Structures are given as structure tokens and as C-alpha cells.
A and B are shown apart, each in its own frame.
Chain A
Amino acid sequence: MRFQQQVWRAMAEGRSGLVHATTGAGKTWAVWLGALQAFSASACTRASPSATNAGANSKPVPAPPITVLWITPMRALAADTLRALREPLADMAPHWTSGLRSGDTSAAERAAQARRLPTVLVSTPESVSLLLARADARASLQSVRLVVVDEWHELMGNKRGVQVQLALARLAGWQPRLMVWGLSATLGNLQEALRTLLPSPPETINSIADSAVPDGASGQKHYQNPPDPVIVQGRVDKTLTVDTLLPARAERFAWAGHMGLQMLPQVATLIAAGPSTLIFTNTRSQAERWYQALIEARPELAGVLALHHGSLDPKVREWVELGLKQGRLKAVVATSSLDLGVDFLPVERVLQIGSCKGVARLVQRAGRSGHAPGRPARITLVPTHSFELVEAAAARQAVRAGEIEQRHGPQAPLDVLVQHLVTVALGGGFRSEALLAEVRRTAAYAGLTDDQWRWCLDFVRQGGPSLAAYPDFRRAGPDAEGVWRMDDARLARRHRSNVGTIVSDAAMQVQFVGGARLGTVEESFIARLKPGDVFLFAGRTLELVRVHEMTAQVRRAPAGRAALPRWGGGRMPLSSTLAEAVLRELAAFEQGRIDSPEMRCAAPLLALQQRQSRLPTPGRLVAETLRSREGWHLFLHPFAGRTVHLGLASLLAWRAARGAPGTFSLAVNDYGLELLSARAIDWAAELPRLLAAPAEAASGALLAEVTDSLNVGELARRRFREIARIAGLIFQSHPGEQRSSRQLQASASLYYEVFARHDPDHALLHQARAELLREELAIDQLAAALRRMADGPLALVPLSRPSPLAFPLMVERFRERLSNEPLVERIARMVAELERAADAEAPDAPDPAAVRQALALAGGAQERPAAGAGGARPLASSRARRRPRARRRPAS
């Protein structure tokens, strides 16, 4: 166990660091035993000078104050982690106490923790922020000597990671010798992961002791810079096998997003025959559907097959995790809720339903199997449509070549900072200069400008830089001594119940009438149901009886058709690493090198694409045009991943609309994009102009162009929703909570409109655009993609019917729009369409259905939801489309 010794030595020297390895390699143990060695003795004998003023020491063997803070990204992991950490405690540090703090923690335990925190506390980023919002935050947390951030790769790329960075900077300000250890799966950029995690050394040594906040300076005077951090590579002796469950007849296999139930019989056989199995899906609704279908197919699985996802009641989740550990369960259908941590599950086999979307994720999920040392890990991919066969072959190649995705942290998100300001104002208050210095120690805010800082202060103090625009507003502000505080109890309560950066719909409790709680679903889903409607949840078919306050009361439904819960958040983009690998597979196919079972299986459909159009390859961009009842279509297949395609589609639509006013509907998937115009447009003639790449030097011009395209589009507005929520403009109500704030309801889009009109320089509007460019649209990748497209040969194919690659785009229901056409013309066209629809007695069959028939891609018709892609267009399909997800109640 060499790597564990490395960790222990580093910890004994007081170093921080990052341990990376696949799941199951023992990262948790390495760091935990290191922590016990480093702190249990000293804490016991009080040898450490830093563990001072920890309160009354009258008891015989007092437990040390909180020393280790263990942050996990998911509530589901917290309980498991605590169990694991407790195992060696009795032997190695019997005087230590341990506890859990997450959204699931009971009120009684919270109260106990309010008096005194345990020596080791397992928590989530959100709950840590809540601890920082306690008025006695410094007194209760300055004894923390070690923070372990579990699954750092999951956090570093998003705003929760920024929240963790801010918390670490705060703790490091109170405890200069703070050690920080990250546990991570393997990433393409480990150095950056480490840099993002650790607070940089403070600007001047002296400012530390005096910096932080009012209540008495107990800082160390003779403080030295900490020793250099280390990166430790964990054990990687596992071999990884990636294989694919092949469909019996690939030519009957679907092209577009299905639940993948065609593969059900084979999966059921595997589970029934095989050893313990984990079945990963990408969305909760898919997990529900698969669970139900497996039970129907193999009734004998009832009792040994379970379901696990983040919406289920914590008790249910815990029962499932325990059952898996004790070997009671044969198989579990799970979402990413079982992706991470929980190192000790004895699973022999892992199935992945649908695309794994990225190489790192594939490796991570595969790591769930074959846990005993030396056992091979194996993951079996279950494709849900034909192109996932190609993805599977590509993923295996990428794993073999060691191509792992990189992750990058967000840069200076002001919404998170604004939230942090209020948190710290509640948690004892702050002085502006001291907190600015502290915040700049994080990687996310190292480049924060003075202007941005001032804007954030203004925002919480008076609404914005211009006092006149926001009369009578105040959230927090400096007192007579210049210490910023928040003294409105009502605002404090609201802030505490909305801390965090996870944006989801308001959650609604699902409960049997007068009986057990099952879990929570999004309010927007329940809002679409009427009493008597039937839906799948928690592995049961339920009938909605009534909605009372924030609880949906249900009863078991008689057998019959069920609506599926449609949870958001299932749209993870294919990583560009994997997308490039897919293109290489296609190029190999074209050259006749077909050397994997997956590619042999996909061959007939790839040949169909070749016949009707061309295959995209790393060097060749394929463009297709089509005229249908819906309008004039342009399909491009750059294989650059969903996010880049979205940026590309907005940019191309913007360029097209600059020639002549128009309205474009945009659809993207991981392989390509579609522009659809209601008016005649000669795409073939327009293409060279649309695809003009920026000169190497002129990428600023491209940026300006994309920014312009965003201003007329809807993307920034949508992005603003998350920002408005994090910055505390809109807030969530929680299950069981009275809707006491009825008069404060406004949607994010309403805020967006009001700001855009009356405060157009609002920094949060700028942030929405900046985030969109950098994170969603990946402007650098976009410029690169454009250049690649302009350099390579263009294959332009006029289609008479959709090609296999074009078809999934054509039936994609989640669409963006871009328009610079006069509103009056758009309305006139829609009203005319309505009248036509009213005149026609029976609407003709919609295009996609005819297309599907023509392509003879029959599979899976029975699993398609009623209002699916092929549904009638006017009005009826509106509920299936993406709605603005902010809460929309009658604002009455």
C-alpha cells in the first residue's frame, strides 16, 4: 500500500494534497487513517497549541472540538461515509465524536450540534455554508484542522465547487495551519484540480491574524507558509473491460432518444442469471421506467431488485444501500445517486443504459464493479439507439488510449459571491477589505476586480450601484464600526433555507393518503397532473388523489397506462473527448476497418447514412438540406458535443438572420445541429457565408458576434434563472412549508425583463451572458470548431428525406429560437396557422411519423410517451416542450 504511506507522510508533514484513483482503490482509508495519526494523539493530549479555547474542560475525557470536516457532494453519500469513518474510531480515537450534517439531518441532532459540533463532521457543501452562516461560526469552526473534499472532480467544475472554495478560504483564514485534501477520480488536468481546491497563501502574513472578523484575534503570530501540496496517485491495478450488449437486429434499432427498452429481455436475462448487478441510467425517469419494466418481465425479481435515485425518501435510499452491502439485493437500478463514493458495495457487474457521455464517467461507473483487489472491473454498455453502438466502440478506444476529460472551475461567478456575502454577514459579519482579501485566495475569485467587488457590496446593501433605482432596499450593510451584518430575521431565515447553488424546481412531497412518504418530485410535474392521473414513482404506479399544501397525496393505481415523471437535468452533454473518438471510429469505418462487434452491428445503419448522404469524419463536415412541411431545414454534423453545437447554431442563425430578417428554430444534439426556417431560404447558397471562420487574430470579433446573437436569443434569459436563484432573487419553497411568501413571487424571466429594461448594466445580466459564452457555449471550442469546419472539405447533400443522422434532430422537442423578424409578422403567421388548423377537420399525419415509417425504424413504439415527438403540432404538444421552469403561479 505504497500510495497510502505517501499520503500519511505528507499529512504528518502538514501538507495538503490531492489523491486520485478510481473508485474502490481506498482513497478514503488513506486520508482518514492519515488524519487519525496526525490528530488523534495530539488532540487527546492537547499537545497542539491551536486547539485552545474549546470550551469547558470539566469532564474527565472530553471529546476534542471539531477537527476534521469531511465534505461529500451528495447527501446519499454522507451516511455511508460516516459509517466508514466510524469503523476505526473505537480503536484509534475512542474519545472522538462523529456526526453528520446534511439536508437529511434530524432537527434533534441539529440542535445538539448547535451546542457542540462532533470531532469529525461529515457534511455537504450546502450544509457547510449553513454552518458558516451561524452567528458563532468562527468560535465553533476555527478548531478545524483538516478538510477532506470527497469526489472533488464532481465539484470543481461547477458552482458548488466555488461554494466549497469560499468555505475553505474562510476556514483557512481562521486556522492558518489548515490542511485540505481532495479525493478525485482521474482527470485530464490534475494540477489544475489541485490549484482550484487549495486556498492560495494569504497576501501578507500579518493580515491573517487581524483580518477576519470582530470576535477577538486568536490567530497565530509566528506563522509560516505551509509546505508544498502534493498529488498522490492511488492504486490502479484494476483492469477495465468495456463491452456492449448488442441488439439482435440492428436494422430494427431506433435512431432517436428512447428509453432503450428494446434491450429489456437481454438485460433481464443477465440480471436473473448473473451475480449482483448495478444498472446505471442517465435520468431518474429512465430509472423508474426500467425498474418497472424489469419487474414486469421477471416478477421473481420483486424483493431482490431495487431502485435508487435522488428524489426518493432518504430512508428508502438508505435501505437500498444497506441491502446492497449485505447482499440482500441482487440488482439495483440507479442514477448518478450511486455514481460516487460508497466504496464498499460488493457488485460484480455494472450495466450502463444509454450513452455514458464521457470517458471519465465510464471509468468511474465501471469502478463500481469487481471491488476486491486484483479483480477486473467490467462495464457493459446497453445502447438505446444505434449511434450509441459507435459511441461504445469509441469509448473503449479512448479508455485504452487513456484519454480522460479535463474539468475547469467557473471564473468569478458573482451570484455565488453575493450569496456568500450574505452568509458571512450572518455568520458574525465581515469587514470589506478583509473579506475581499480572503475571497481572492480562492482560484475562482483570484482575478476578481475591485469594481466587481464593489458591485456585489452594492447589490446586497442597496440593490445596485445607483441608490435612486432601488429605494428602501437593504439586505445587509455595515454597522457603525464598519462590520457588515444582516439583522433582518425574516431575510436571514429565507437566506438559510435557500443556501446553495443547486437549482431545481420546487420540490413536492409524495405521500400515500394517510401513510408513508415516498420521496419528492418537482412541483411543475405535479402541476401538470389532475387528480386521477397516474404516474410512476419510487417503483410504484401511483394515482394522484389530491394536492394539499406542498404534498401530493397518492394511492396505488390499478394496472394500466402510466405517465412518466419527467425530471429535468437529464441532458448531460457528450464530452468532446468522446465525440472526437466517435468521429475517428466513423473514419475507420469508412476506410473499411471494422474491427469491433459494436461497429459490425452498426454497419447496416452507417451504410444507410453513406447511401443517403455522407459519413462525417475528423476531416469532413457534412451538411444536409431538406424541405419539409415544417419549413426549410439545414443539418450540420460537426460532432463537437451539445454545448458547442448550441453556440454554433445560435451563431449561424444570427448570421443567416443578418442577411434577411427571419425566425429560426434551433435543435442540437451531441452529434449535430439543425436550423429550421419557416420561410424559404437557400441554405446551400448561404452556407459559405454562414461558416466563415474568424481569422486567428479576430476571435474577439467572433465573441462580439456570438454575444449579439445571444441578445436576440433566449439562452441568456434561461441561464439567468440559475443566477437569480443563487443570488437570492427567487427562492424555493420546501416541502411542508406554508406558502407564506405568496406576494413575493416573480419568475426569473420577469426579473430578466425588468433589469434589461430598467437597469441594463446589471452585473448579473452580464454574468448570464458571460457564463453562457464560457461554460455553455464554450467559445474557445466554438472558434476552433468553426476554423476546423472552414478548413476541411464540406460535403453538402440535398436530402429528399431525413438521413439517419438528421432524423433525431428533426424530432428533437427541446428547441431554441432566434428571431429578428418583426413581431407582427410572426404573430400573423401563427394566427394564420391556428386558423388553418381550425379549418382542417382532421389534421394530417405529422411529418416525423411518416418519416419513421419510411425509414422502417419501428422499435420501441410502445414506450414513446403520448405527447411524444410525433405528436400533433398545434397546442397539443406544448406541454411536452420545455417550459420556463421558474415557478409560475397566478401572480394574483
Chain B
Amino acid sequence: MNPLATPPSPAGATALLPGAVALRLPGAVLHLLPHCAAWWPDAGVLFVADLHLGKAAVFRARGLPVPEATTTDTLDRLSEALRTTGAGRLVLLGDFLHAREARQPPVLAALAGWRARHAALDVVLVRGNHDRHAGDPPAALGLALVDEPWTLGPLAACHHPQHAPGRTVLAGHAHPVVHLQGPGRDRLRLPCFHLGPGQLILPAFGAFTGGQAMRPAAGAVVYAVGAGRVWRAGG
């Protein structure tokens, strides 16, 4: 898979989707979507991280009863994000399958069904730590498999947060969430994008994934996702 030679179109002209926030990075304008995905309209690329598909199946295989519906839930939301953006390429920032036992018939069937509905879509998976344990997904899914960092014009698609000189790293792995507090001692815990110097960490996309509270590093900005919107929440 060759890195895509980005055909740069006039920057930032694309209309924002409802609830999204535009983020001007060196050489690219990304839209942070309330779907917990990052959208690069100029290149027609949608980024999502940490689907952890089949996590519920792994749990069940190891004696922990988690209902099956989480896999279809995740795939439906992914389809929705693809439909809304009209993306031509999907980049998965690692941890696509949760573990080896995720390859259960119901999970694979759901995946195959999803792929059939997006047959024309170009899908790239940047291998994450879970993918290494799980092994590469079935070839029939037609995913392009790459190792991090996978450069894409001014961006470097990764799983683990890291730094790539001269490029902005898009990463997952951390499952960031943020705690918000307000008047009247109100509190909320929301998934978030975490923008540090040269690095954007995406929230986990999977339905059955936890989160880890992040204390924004100095100079970092946090974008919380909630109520169908993306909110700049401090930094």
C-alpha cells in the first residue's frame, strides 16, 4: 500500500458537519466529528481509533457474559459516520479486533456484512497492540494492513501516541476521557480528542470500551464529545 499522494484541494473550504469542530493543522484541516472520528475532507479520509471489535465475544469466550449487540452497535455507528461524510477511505488507527477469540462466527459475519455494504471503500488498518495479539483480520475483508507510523501527506497515522518530525501524529490507544465540572458542583465524564504538540489522540470508537481520564498536558487542548457535539473544553 503506497501512501496516498494527497490531492490537496483548496484548504478548509468544506462545510462543517453539525456539531463538528474544524482543526487547522500544519498542511491539513481536520474536522473533529461528534461520532468520535476525525474527518479530513480535502482528502476524503475518515480516521477512527480503537474499535475493539469482538471484545464482547472475547469476554464471553472467557466466561464473562456480555451481550452480543455491542459489535453491531459499533459497526452501525461506523456506517453512519461514513455515510454522513461520504468518505472514500477509512483509516483505522489500531486495535480493530480485540483479541484472537474475537474471531467468533457472529463477529466475523457482522464484519463481512458491514464490508459488503461498503464494498467500494478503501480501508487501511494501522496495526495496534491488540491487532498483534489478535492476528491480522481475514483477508476477505480486503483491509490494507500497515505498521505505524504510516505517513499520509502531512499526517502520520499511528496507534500509539508518539512524535513524527515534521508531521502531525494521529493516534489512538489511550481512550481519552475528560472530567468536566460546572457550577452547582455538576460533573460529567465524556470521551475526548486530545490535541498535544504535533499529536492528536482520538477517543475510542468501540461501543464496549472504557476510557482513561487524561490530565491535559501543558499546551494541550481537549475536545470533549457529548450531546451530539464536539466542545473545546480547556487547554
Report A's interface with B, CB cutoff 8 A.
459, 462-464, 468-475, 488, 490-491, 494, 630-632, 663-665, 676-679, 728-729, 741, 743-747, 750-751, 754-755, 757-759, 815, 817, 819, 822-824, 826-831, 833-834, 838, 873-875, 878, 881, 888-892
A-B contact pairs, 30 of them (CB 8 A): A462-B65, A469-B69, A470-B60, A471-B106, A473-B63, A474-B63, A490-B62, A494-B63, A665-B186, A678-B184, A728-B63, A729-B64, A743-B130, A746-B64, A754-B70, A758-B67, A758-B69, A758-B73, A817-B185, A823-B188, A827-B190, A827-B229, A830-B186, A875-B234, A878-B179, A889-B212, A891-B204, A891-B212, A892-B50, A892-B128
Smallest Cβ-Cβ distance to A887: which chain B residue: B210
Q: Is the pair B60, A888 in contact by a Cβ cutoff of 8 Å?
A: no
Cβ-based interface call for B194 (8 A): no
A878 to B216, CA, bound (A): 13
Contact: A743 with B99, CB < 8 Å? yes
Residue ranges of B at the interface with A (Cβ–Cβ < 8 Å):
50, 52, 56-70, 73, 95, 98-99, 104-106, 128-130, 133, 173-175, 179-188, 190, 204, 207-213, 224, 226-229, 231-234
A464 — nearest CB in chain B belongs to which residue? B65
Q: Pick the residue among B69, B179, B182 that contacts A678 (CB under 8 A).
A: B182
Interface contact A754-B129, CB-CB below 8 Å? no
Chain A residue, CB-CB nearest to B229: A824
Q: Which of A728, A747, A827 contacts B188 (CB 8 A)?
A: A827
Chain B: minimal CB distance from A383 (Å): 28
Check if B181 sits within 8 Å of A875, measured CB to CB: yes
Most buried by A among B50, B184, B211: B184
Looking at A468, A676, A830, the one whose CB has the most chain B CB atoms below 10 A away is: A830
In the bound complex, do residue A817 and residue B50 qualify as a contact, i.e. CB atoms below 8 Å apart?
no
Q: How far is the CA of A741 from the CA of B63 in the complex (A)?
A: 12
A743's partner among B50, B69, B133, B179 (CB-CB below 8 A) is B133
- Across the interface, do A745 and B210 meet the contact criterion of CB distance under 8 Å? yes
In the assembled complex, the Cα of A838 lies from the Cα of B234 at a distance in Å of 8
Partner of A891 from the list B52, B63, B234 (CB cut-off 8 Å) is B52
Q: Do A663 and B184 form a contact, CB below 8 Å, given A890-B173, A890-B175?
A: yes
A875 to B233, CA, bound (A): 12
CA distance A677 to B232 in the complex (A): 25
Say whether A892 contacts B184, CB under 8 Å: no
Contact A630 B63 (CB under 8 A): no
| Chain A residues positioned under 8 Å from B67 (CB to CB) | 463-464, 469-470, 754-755, 758-759
Interface pair B66/A472, CB less than 8 Å apart? no
Task: List, in ascending order, chain A residues with CB within 8 A of B182's CB.
Answer: 678, 826, 829-830, 833
B186–A817 CB distance below 8 A:
yes
Q: Do A463 and B184 have beta carbons less than 8 Å apart?
A: no
**Cβ contact within 8 Å between A665 and B185:** yes
Residue of A470, A676, A817, A881 contacting most chain B CB atoms (<10 Å): A470
Return the contact of B175 from the options A469, A665, A827, A891 (Cβ within 8 A): A891
The answer to whether B62 touches A491, judged by C-beta atoms less than 8 angstroms apart, is yes
Are B227 and A746 neighbours in the complex by a CB distance under 8 Å? no
Q: Do A744 and B62 touch across chains, with their CB atoms under 8 A apart?
A: yes
Q: Beyond A469-B69, A471-B60, A826-B186, list 15 extra A-B contacts (CB 8 Å).
A: A469-B67, A472-B57, A472-B61, A631-B185, A729-B64, A741-B62, A754-B67, A758-B67, A833-B182, A874-B181, A875-B181, A878-B179, A878-B181, A890-B173, A891-B209
Q: How far is B62's CA from A491's CA once the two chains are assembled, in angstroms?
A: 7
B64, A744: Cβ atoms closer than 8 Å: yes
Interface pair A892/B69, CB less than 8 Å apart: no
Residue from B63, B69, B212, B229 whose CB has the most chain A CB atoms within 10 Å: B63
Separation in Å of the A381 CB from the closest CB of chain B?
33
CB <8 Å contact, B181 and A873: yes
Which residues of chain A are within 8 angstroms of B231 by Cβ–Cβ distance? 827-828, 831
Contact indicator A834/B183 (Cβ below 8 Å): no
Cβ of B186: which chain A residues have Cβ within 8 Å of it? 663, 665, 678, 817, 819, 826, 829-830
B229 partner residues in chain A, CB cutoff 8 A:
824, 827
CA distance A679 to B57 in the complex (A): 45
Return the chain A residue nearest B134 by Cβ. Answer: A743
Is there an interface contact between A754 and B66, defined as CB atoms closer than 8 Å? Answer: yes
Minimum distance in angstroms from A221 CB to a CB of chain B: 40
Complex Cα distance, B73 from A827, in Å, reads 25
Min CB distance A802 to B, Å, is 15
Q: CB-CB < 8 A to A755: which residues of B?
A: 67
Task: A881 to B64: give the CA distance in the assembly, Å.
Answer: 30
B213: A residues at CB distance < 8 A: 888
What residues of A have a CB within 8 angstroms of the CB of B50 in the complex?
892
Chain B residues closer than 8 Å to A892, beta-carbon distance: 50, 95, 128-130, 173-175
Instruction: Give CA–CA (A151, B221) in the complex, Å.
Output: 55
> From residue A837, how far is it (CB to closest CB) to chain B in Å?
8
Most chain B beta carbons < 10 A, residue from A494, A678, A746, A751? A746
Residue of A664, A676, A831 most packed against chain B (CB within 10 A): A831
Task: Give the residue of A459, A741, A744 whose beta carbon is less than 8 angstroms from that of B65.
Answer: A459
Please report the C-alpha to C-alpha distance between residue A809 and residue B8 in the assembled complex, in whole angstroms. 59
A878: nearest chain-B partner, CB-CB? B179
Residue of A nearest to B19 (CB): A824
User: Inside 8 A of A741's CB, which chain B residues have their CB?
Assistant: 62
- Is there contact, CB below 8 Å, between B187 and A751? no
Q: Which residues of A contact B173 (CB under 8 A)?
A: 890, 892
Bound-state Cα–Cα, A889 to B66, Å: 19
A747 touches B210 (CB 8 A): yes
Per the bound structure, the CA–CA distance linking A414 and B139 in Å amounts to 44
Which of A470, A679, A743, A817 has its CB near the most chain B CB atoms (within 10 A)? A743
Q: Shortest Cβ distance from B193 into chain A, in angstroms? A: 14
How long is the Cα–Cα vector from A827 to B187 in the complex, in angstroms?
A: 9
Give bound CA distance, A488 to B61, whole Å.
Answer: 11
Collect the chain A residues with CB atoms within 8 Å of residue B208's CB.
746, 750, 754
User: Are the C-beta atoms of A469 and B190 separated by less than 8 Å?
Assistant: no
Contact A743 B184, CB 8 Å, known A464-B65, A823-B227: no
Asked whether B65 lies within 8 Å of A827 as measured between CB atoms, the reply is: no
- Our pick among A665, A824, A831 for the contact of B184 (Cβ within 8 Å) is A665
Q: Are A471 and B64 in contact (CB under 8 A)?
A: no
Whether B209 pairs with A827 at a CB distance below 8 angstroms is: no
How far is B182's CA from A677's CA once the two chains are assembled, in angstroms? 11
Bound complex: CA A678 to CA B180 (Å): 15
Measured between beta carbons, the chain A residues less than 8 angstroms from B70 are: 754, 758
Contact across chains for B187 and A817 when beta carbons are under 8 A apart: yes
For A679, list chain B residues within 8 Å (CB).
184
Q: Which residue in B60, B63, B179, B227 is a CB contact (below 8 Å) of A488?
A: B63
Enumerate chain A residues within 8 angstroms of B209, measured Cβ to Cβ. 750, 891
Within the assembled complex, what's the spacing in Å between the Cα atoms of A827 and B226?
8
Q: Which residues of A contact B211 (CB under 8 A)?
A: 888, 891
A833 partner residues in chain B, CB cutoff 8 A: 181-183
